[in-house]
Amino acid sequence: MNKIVDINLRRAQDLVQDLVKDTAEELSASEPPPPAFAELLTTSNFSFLRGGSDPEELIAHAVAGRLTGLGLCDRNSMAGVVRAYSALKQLREDETTCQAAAGFRYVVGVRLVFADGTPDIIAYPTDRAAYGRLCRLLTLGNTREIEGKRATKGVCTLNFTDLADFAEGQLFILDPDDGDWDKIRGTLLALKKLARGRVWLAACCTFRGDDRARLNRLAALAREARVKLIASNNVLYHIPERRMLQDVVTCIREHITIFEAGRRLEQNAERHIKSPAEMARLFREHPDAIAQTQVFLDRIDFRLDQLSYSYPEETVGNGETAQATLERLAWAGAEKRYPKGIPEKISAGLGSELALIAEKQYAAYFLTVEEIVRYAREEKGILCQGRGSAANSTVCFCLGITEVDPMRSSLVFGRFLSTERDEPPDIDVDFEHERREEVIQHIYEKYGRDRASLTATVVCYRSKGAIREVAKVFGISEDTVDALNELSWSWYNNRDLKPERVKELGLDLNDPILGKVLRLAGDLMGFPRHLSQHVGGFVLTQDKLDTYVPIANAAMEDRTTVEWDKDDLDALRILKVDVLALGMLSCIHRAFDLMQDHYGRNLTLAGIRQEEDGPDLEYEHLDWDRKESAPVYRMTHRADTIGVFQIESRAQMSMLPRLQPKCFYDLVIEVAIVRPGPIQGGMVHPYLKRRLGFETPEQLGPGLQAVLERTKGIPLFQEQAMQIAVVAAGFSPGKADKLRRAMATFRRNGTIHTLKDDFLNGMLANNYPRDFAERCFKQIEGFGDYGFPESHAASFALLVYVSCWLKCHYPDVFACALLNSQPMGFYAPAQIIRDVAEHGVEVRAPDINLSTYDSLLEPGPRAAGRLHRRHAEMLGDIKSEKALRLGLRLVKGLGEAQADLIVARRGDGYRSVRDLWLRTGLPVAVLQKLAAADAFGSIGLTRRQALWAVRGLMGTDGAETLPLFTGSGPAPSRLDRVESLPEMAPGESVVHDYRTLTFSLKAHPVSFLRDRLDRRGTLPTERLLETAIRPGAVIETAGLVLVRQRPGTASGVIFMTLEDETGIANIIIWDRVFQANRRAVLGSRLLAVRGQLQREGLVTHLVAQSFTDLTPELTALANGFDLTDAALARADEGRTGPSRPDSRDGGELRRREALQRQARAALPGGRNFH
Amino acid sequence: MRLVELDARAEMAGLFATQSLADARALVPGLAVREIDRSAIAARFADFADWHSNASPLVAVLPDIAAYGDLVLDITGVTHLFGGEAAMLEKLTGRLENLGFAVTGGIADSIGAAWAMAHFAPGRIVSSDAAAALAPLPVAALRLAEPVIDGLMQMGLKRVGDLYGRNRPALAARFGAGLLLRLDQALGHVEEKFTPRLPLAEHYAERRFAEPIGLLDDVLMTARDLAIRLASDLERKGLGAQAFHLFLYRVDHQVTTLTVRAGRATRDPLHIARLFAHQAERLGGEYDAGFGIDMIRLAADTLAALDSAQLGAFGTRDGTADLDRLYDRMASRLGPNAISRIKFVNTHIPERAARLEPVLADTPDDPLAAPDPALPRPIRLLPRPEPIEVVAAEIPDGPPRAMVWRRVTYRFLKARGPERIGPEWWRHARPLASTRDHDDLPEGAPVFDADALTRDYFIMEDDGGRRFWLFRHGLYGEGANPAWFLHGFFA
């Protein structure tokens, strides 16, 4: 969202610069200055799908057009008012525009649209109190229950009668629509009674041929009611050229095409901001209406910066001030953190931070966060951890909000809070994702719904949505829209629209309609579409929040949001607390509980970290492999990190063996380095080279040395990029931040070029060589939004370490917790299960008598003795002694409530399918799913037998379906007799496992094809790792396609992962090879790949040259045709009778398709990149 | 969106039905797809089925699996015309293949068995022991629903033969009675009936001829006789019809159909006969009786209640019935597009606000299209605006003092306006300019040329009391010198 605001602001600035020039020339030409005029009826695009311009554009245009002021009044909403405020502020700060913007008045209002048919009334508060009343009126409308039902999100229901209680201090303008003159007259008189002397009647030239008569009529009405006429152009957009976009949004709103819209559109393009001279001409017979705009402005004494915000006091009630409480808690916390005495560095840091907090008066804010964290952790037992820039703060560490020990990392508190940067602090805290709602409700409860609310997020039209909507308006088929979207993808992401690419999609850029669609979609992009709730940002106030901003219901029950997003709140310096959700915390919490229950060990995040840190600071200087944490790091060197937080992705896994983390800070780097920022900035390879000692860091001079020393002279973190700008290029911190923002927005705009020049010149002036300066700039360019701040990476690295620790020592516990936290992370249950089995843990199938909804640990064999040879070196590290009993949640289509019912009614176990059915009363369809998942093993039924029995329950025999005789126990029915069903071939059984469970404990599907693959000369994937096969050798391997990835950073290269019974193989497919083999690459489930072996350290890739789609073999397997039984397979082919190549058998094809479909449905589809 | 049908090339490219369109596009860039119109295909297939009535009178579409695709013919007693069953099958399928259709067929004693052969053993003719013929086929050959097939496959019951001799109640309990019914139908234990296409209409009249007739006049005369008989039938029931079909059954097993439609329900035999006559006139040389027609049938379609009183001598006559009748006759003689009426269109542009449409078109009126009374429009609009010279029009948007139109000068006394009407920009072929700055325009993308012209309309009254509707094309400052046009007259 930041991006959009920045673009809009920049745009506004440019606009003003251009226009000020133009009007200056015009002004000098015309002699008498036009009368002062301000536009007071404006609808921006925050009246969703009604306005055609951003608030920023309206403000900029009004400033440039020499209006004396502008009032923004959107429909029952204040959502856009801060945008305009920020825009004006920016114009005033910029030297090129400050003169034009200096005397300009911006007033905040709202267009009240009534549900009872009253014409629209525009309200402007004259002072802070009246503004509060107006917000409360809108809150009332937003949350009004209608017929006992909670108000729907986005609907504000107001009646004229509501106005009376909130009218004090407001100025009103009645907007007479051309409908019913009696109603206008009636409303005007009623309004007059409500607010004597504070009512105006809006007059506007509509250019419908009768303007003169209409103005006279309005003037007469105003005279009769003894109110004043006020001139306006009832603005919908800032310039007439916006009419087209305005027409388009009208069509979107009305769900019609532009060809059938007709008179639902405006007749002309007149509703733009007109110049004072033009307004004076139009109202030449009513000059007082123009003058009234100034009278009106003069009566308003409210500006948004008067919202002097007061944060909740957070005193503990013993007379102590918030600052005193904070200091007390911080020092107490420090003592707890450092039981052997608070180190010098810490006490110094605490002291200076506390002083700054006192100066800025943010103590209460820290206390709030501290209270929330303490509540979650101590009262609810919810794991939580601060992230982001807050981890730079020693105070946050001592308060227990963050876990990054300032003693062991170099924190830059300035990134978090500084005297120069006048921004409120921002503390983000992650909570377990499944339990965050408890925290949210606690905050609502503690502060009350009138003092706490979630922040809004403005959902904007992105390229795809914009194209889709505009194309619909032009009646373009869905199909073409899909093609267009592919186009827009390459357009806006690569900015590289190749004509042949367009042609390939069957589109013609010269087509007039298409050209318009693309153009208008481009214009619509960035328009706000609706308000949504922010993921977890809370606004808290001391007094009533709904006097600051209207509050509305969120889509979710029990949640409310304000109408402003985080940028708006920042602009008004209103604090917010971010309560975020993190799945890994839920998983770790589960793992800790399991450790307690099964191994009697009480673990905490800090405790595990302690082990890594060692008992004292001397421990740090020990060789890494003599530390207790060595096994954990050793595990990462083999990229054995499936399921681990952050470092489990393919890219991370290939980095691990090269980077070989040996201490906590290495993990911090690992987390930060595999990000688009460092990758695009070209930092990865230089860093690796230097780390491995192939290259020595250059001498950078003392300033940069301090900044870059810990990352071997390469900037890897966002802060470092900023610090380079400050230290080496002589930027002020504010300017450095501006640089960061410019990077984050658009690559090509004017400001970045000037900043680049400044940067390079600054570095040259400090005697850095030019090529070094350019390289630095390129590296910084890579950041923007795509780099991690160091503190954030450090917070994440802790979770990385903890999850690695669990996986290393207790793979059973880790896998169990991970499976119970699904969906989460990068891997499907199948890979997690396979991985844990390879680590020696016995995995047992889900069963109606033995499983619960969640997976469980059961007594089992010692894992260490059953390791796959790949993990042999972990023999001494793995301490697992449990078996993993998979939960019923892994059965596709079974709900939690149903699984719980099975457990609750189980007693001493179910004896038959019928028994289960009678006792639980579960629908037969659910039992069928259990049977298909082979969950009746404990009562001795095979999948087919169980299915047969379950299907028997459906029954034709009514009496038998009724559980009448539950007391006498289930009598075996004649229909229950187990039929002599054909036995399932093992291959078929495995495929069925995949179908119902997404994995199989019996065997891997590829293992059934091994004979055939051997005959082809296809190697098992594990043999790729054998050193006997030299890099460069051309070999073939085959497996199920697990993942296809096309990272945006890798210029068209596709990464593919194949899995067979021996392991996985990583395939690299160059774009050229991919284009020639699209079908095999994208369409197959089982694929054989021939290619050249590449090996770098422990990482082995196959660079694909050719492909063989083996999916039909799998299909055959799924049908139960054992592949060794060649006769049957032949019979299968032969049954279509004499082959007639020219007449294809439609029915048989359909049949085959159905079978293929089933097989496809059963097997993992492979994650695709589209 | 998913794929439903593919052609051979698509299949070769590895696409398959039920695949998502996004996947298919990823596989085959530039894939040409059409949205499926099932009802249209079903309708086309039904026509296709009718055509087969030349092979056997009893033809039906089997809707068991899809609304189209399966055709069943009862060939009892007709095979000798083709030289036996095998020859007949060869002839029917061969003929379609020559037309480019992919077709398979089979012959058996029951519909079920024939369907199974057609789909899973094409070209087979099962004259005895259907059970043996069916046994090796997959259970899908029994025309079962997908879940039932699925269930049977799960149990390992994959061939029809696997079902023989199994416990019938147990099967019925698990897969429903439908499975057994389908099995019994295929085996011929239970007879299956089908409803032939072209069912006899409820209201029809027909005449057979001892000797085939051929002359068009004879056909039309017969049509009139049949219409009289049909009318009395309809009158008894108090019905009228909006469509009438005349089926001409030719001795060479072809059916020619003539259809006429009326604007409102009717049963007037003379009217009907006349409509057919007009229709035949238009048919002209295309009429072909082949070797003669041995039967004619007139059937009424789209029936509606028609009170007999309305046709009585003292019935109310508002004239609309006559008008409709006139429309019918004119339209059937001159073609449906020849007779038009005025319809309002929802647009701001005056000359587009009304258009002509065929009287028989039944497009609903857009309630928003009715003209806005607040915006006066002239009684007469010039077919195209005519350029005028104006004198002393105030800048920027004032009315002129006088105009010269067709070399005559008119001096204006009164003016009303301007009424400003923007262009319908979406109709222009010219590209648009962006109103937001995009510096990332692709190479060769359209560039703006400013050519959108707005009109300012004025109602002007001259010294002779004449009132004109004129407009300035373009705003001052919008283009070059704006031109003025006269567009209409009020009085």
What ipTM does the predicted assembly reach? 0.70
DSSP string, A1135-1155: TT-S--TTS--HHHHHHHHHH
Write the CA distances from A402 to A423, A594, A799, A856, A1136, integer angstroms: 21, 24, 12, 32, 70
Contacts of A207 in chain B (CB under 8 A): 418-420, 456
Q: Compare all CA atoms of chain A with the CA of B13 and give the residue at the minimum distance.
A: A1079
Cis geometry, peptide bond prior to residue A512 (ω within 30 degrees of 0):
no
Asked if the Cβ–Cβ distance from A497 to B149 is below 8 Å, we say no
Asked if the Cβ–Cβ distance from A1135 to B136 is below 8 Å, we say yes
pLDDT of A195: 92
Least confident window among A93-97, A444-448, A629-633: A93-97
Q: Compare all CA atoms of chain B with the CA of A1137 and give the residue at the minimum distance.
A: B121
At residue A159, what is the residue type?
Answer: N
Of A735 and A1094, the one with more pLDDT: A1094
Asked if the Cβ–Cβ distance from B431 to A499 is below 8 Å, we say no
Considering only CB atoms, A263 lies closest to which of B368, B429, B445, namely B368
Nearest C-alpha of chain B: how many angstroms from A239? 9
Say if residue A1159's pLDDT is above 70: no
Mean pLDDT throughout A447-459?
87
pLDDT of A421: 58
pLDDT of B402: 93
In 3D, which of A44, A122, A73, A81 has the Cα closest to residue A564?
A: A81
Least confident window among A15-24, A697-706, A943-952, A1148-1157: A1148-1157
pLDDT of A23: 54
> What is the bridge-based pairing of β-strands A1086-1096 and B71-73?
unpaired
Considering only CB atoms, B104 lies closest to which of A523, A1119, A1147, namely A1147
Cis geometry, peptide bond prior to residue A55 (ω within 30 degrees of 0):
no
Considering only CB atoms, B444 lies closest to which of A263, A499, A1079, namely A499
Contacts of B443 in chain A (CB under 8 A): 497
Contact between residue A75 and residue A50 where contact means Cβ atoms under 8 Å apart: yes
Mean pLDDT throughout A429-439?
87
Asked if the Cβ–Cβ distance from A1136 to B122 is below 8 Å, we say yes
pLDDT of A1009: 82
Contact between residue A765 and residue A773 where contact means Cβ atoms under 8 Å apart: no
Element (H, E) at A429: strand A428-432
pLDDT of A250: 95
Encoded tokens for B9: 């090339």
Nearest C-alpha of chain A: how many angstroms from B58? 23
Asked if the Cβ–Cβ distance from B119 to A944 is below 8 Å, we say no
Considering only CB atoms, A932 lies closest to which of B154, B170, B426, namely B154
Asked if the Cβ–Cβ distance from B156 to A982 is below 8 Å, we say yes
- How far is it, in rounded angstroms, from Cα A1119 to Cα B152? 12
Number of A–B residue contacts, CB under 8 Å? 254
Asked if the Cβ–Cβ distance from B437 to A1156 is below 8 Å, we say no
Considering only CB atoms, B173 lies closest to which of A11, A932, A954, namely A954
Q: Coil, strand, or helix at residue A645? A: coil
Nearest C-alpha of chain B: how many angstroms from A88? 19
Rounded percentage of chain A residues whose pLDDT exceeds 90 = 19
Best of B355, B432, B455, B459 to disrupt the A interface (most A CBs within 10 Å) is B432
Q: A559-577 burial, b for 16+ CB within 10 Å, e for fewer?
A: bbbbbbbbbbbbbbebbbb
Encoded tokens for A874: 């972990």
β-sheet bridge partners, residue A75: A111
pLDDT (tens digit, 9 = 90+) per residue, B361-371? 665 667 777 88
* Helix (H), strand (E) counts: chain A: 50, 22
Nearest C-alpha of chain B: how many angstroms from A207? 5
Say if residue A972's pLDDT is above 80: no
Considering only CB atoms, A479 lies closest to which of B35, B97, B454, namely B35
Contacts of A14 in chain B (CB under 8 A): 437
Contact between residue A641 and residue A647 where contact means Cβ atoms under 8 Å apart: yes
Contacts of A8 in chain B (CB under 8 A): none
Considering only CB atoms, A1143 lies closest to which of B29, B97, B431, namely B97
Best of B158, B435, B443 to disrupt the A interface (most A CBs within 10 Å) is B435
**Phi, psi at B154, each rounded to 5°:** -60, -35
pLDDT (tens digit, 9 = 90+) per residue, B97-125? 877 777 888 888 888 888 888 888 888 88
Say if residue A993's pLDDT is above 80: no
Contacts of A1131 in chain B (CB under 8 A): 136
Of A408 and A539, the one with more pLDDT: A539
pLDDT class of A423 with cuts at 50, 70, 90 = low
Least confident window among A167-176, A574-583, B281-290: B281-290
- How far is it, in rounded angstroms, from Cα B272 to Cα B302? 14
Q: Coil, strand, or helix at residue A941? A: coil
pLDDT class of A2 with cuts at 50, 70, 90 = very low
pLDDT (tens digit, 9 = 90+) per residue, B141-163? 888 887 788 788 777 787 888 88
pLDDT of A252: 94
Nearest C-alpha of chain A: how many angstroms from B275? 36
Contacts of B33 in chain A (CB under 8 A): 479
Contact between residue A124 and residue A109 where contact means Cβ atoms under 8 Å apart: yes
Rounded percentage of chain B residues whose pLDDT exceeds 70 = 83
pLDDT of A175: 93
Of A1095 and A488, the one with more pLDDT: A1095
pLDDT (tens digit, 9 = 90+) per residue, B458-484? 999 999 999 999 998 888 766 567 888
Write the CA distances from B401 to A32, A216, A947, B52, B491, integer angstroms: 28, 24, 94, 77, 19
- First vs last C-alpha separation in chain A: 24
Encoded tokens for B212: 């085939």
> What is the bridge-based pairing of β-strands A1086-1096 and A1099-1109?
antiparallel
pLDDT of A955: 54
Nearest C-alpha of chain B: how many angstroms from A1053? 15
Asked if the Cβ–Cβ distance from A519 to B432 is below 8 Å, we say yes
Best of A979, A1111, A1167 to disrupt the B interface (most B CBs within 10 Å) is A979
Q: Compare all CA atoms of chain A with the CA of B17 and give the residue at the minimum distance.
A: A1153
Contacts of B118 in chain A (CB under 8 A): 1147
Nearest C-alpha of chain B: how many angstroms from A1083? 7
Best of A282, A496, A1143, A1153 to disrupt the B interface (most B CBs within 10 Å) is A1143
Asked if the Cβ–Cβ distance from A1083 to B27 is below 8 Å, we say yes
Contacts of A483 in chain B (CB under 8 A): 25
pLDDT class of A1056 with cuts at 50, 70, 90 = confident
pLDDT of A747: 40
The dihedral of CA B53, B59, B60, B65: what is its sign?
negative
Asked if the Cβ–Cβ distance from B155 to A944 is below 8 Å, we say yes
Contacts of A983 in chain B (CB under 8 A): 156
Of B58 and B419, the one with more pLDDT: B419
pLDDT (tens digit, 9 = 90+) per residue, A398-419? 888 887 777 766 656 666 666 5
Asked if the Cβ–Cβ distance from B25 to A486 is below 8 Å, we say yes
Asked if the Cβ–Cβ distance from A1136 to B120 is below 8 Å, we say yes
Mean pLDDT throughout B251-272?
77
pLDDT of B60: 79
Encoded tokens for B388: 């005028």
Mean pLDDT throughout A208-227?
92
Beta-sheet strand order (sheet of A576-582): A384-387, A428-432, A576-582, A528-540, A452-460, A560-565, A551-553
Could you list the beta-strand ranges (E) of A571-719: 576-582
Could you list the beta-strand ranges (E) of A791-831: none
Asked if the Cβ–Cβ distance from A479 to B162 is below 8 Å, we say no
Quote the DSSP letter at residue A27.
Answer: H
Considering only CB atoms, B434 lies closest to which of A209, A523, A984, namely A523
pLDDT (tens digit, 9 = 90+) per residue, A911-942? 888 888 888 888 888 888 888 888 888 888 88
* Helix (H), strand (E) counts: chain B: 13, 14
pLDDT of A500: 61
pLDDT of A26: 54
Say if residue A239's pLDDT is above 80: yes
Write the CA distances from B480 to A1140, B386, B453, integer angstroms: 72, 19, 11
Considering only CB atoms, B435 lies closest to which of A241, A955, A1142, namely A241
Contacts of A951 in chain B (CB under 8 A): 151, 155, 173-175
- How far is it, in rounded angstroms, from Cα B342 to Cα B356? 5
Say if residue A740's pLDDT is above 90: no
- How far is it, in rounded angstroms, from Cα A495 to Cα B177? 62
Q: Coil, strand, or helix at residue A1091? A: strand
CA A265 to the chain's CA centroid? 36
Angle, vertex CA A490, rays to CA A485 and CA A491, nearest 5: 90
Asked if the Cβ–Cβ distance from A209 to B33 is below 8 Å, we say no
pLDDT of A1149: 43
pLDDT of A295: 95
pLDDT (tens digit, 9 = 90+) per residue, A645-689? 888 877 777 788 888 888 888 888 888 888 776 777 777 888 888
In 3D, which of B358, B339, B332, B363 has the Cα closest to residue B259?
A: B332
Least confident window among A11-25, A1125-1139, B38-52, B110-124: A1125-1139
Contacts of A474 in chain B (CB under 8 A): 426
Contacts of B169 in chain A (CB under 8 A): 956-957, 975
DSSP string, A1034-1073: EEEEEEEEEEEE--GGGTT-EEEEEEETTEEEEEEE-HHH
pLDDT (tens digit, 9 = 90+) per residue, A1027-1036? 777 888 888 8
Helices B146-155 & B177-187 angle (0-180, nearest 10): 90
Asked if the Cβ–Cβ distance from A523 to B157 is below 8 Å, we say no
pLDDT class of A294 with cuts at 50, 70, 90 = very high
pTM of the model: 0.71
Considering only CB atoms, A504 lies closest to which of B21, B29, B97, namely B29
Angle, vertex CA A828, rays to CA A825 and CA A830, nearest 5: 145
Mean pLDDT throughout A1134-1140?
29
Average pLDDT across chain A, whole number? 79
pLDDT of A1130: 26
Element (H, E) at A735: helix A733-744
Mean pLDDT throughout A957-972?
42
Say if residue A385's pLDDT is above 90: no
pLDDT (tens digit, 9 = 90+) per residue, A551-571? 988 888 788 899 998 888 888
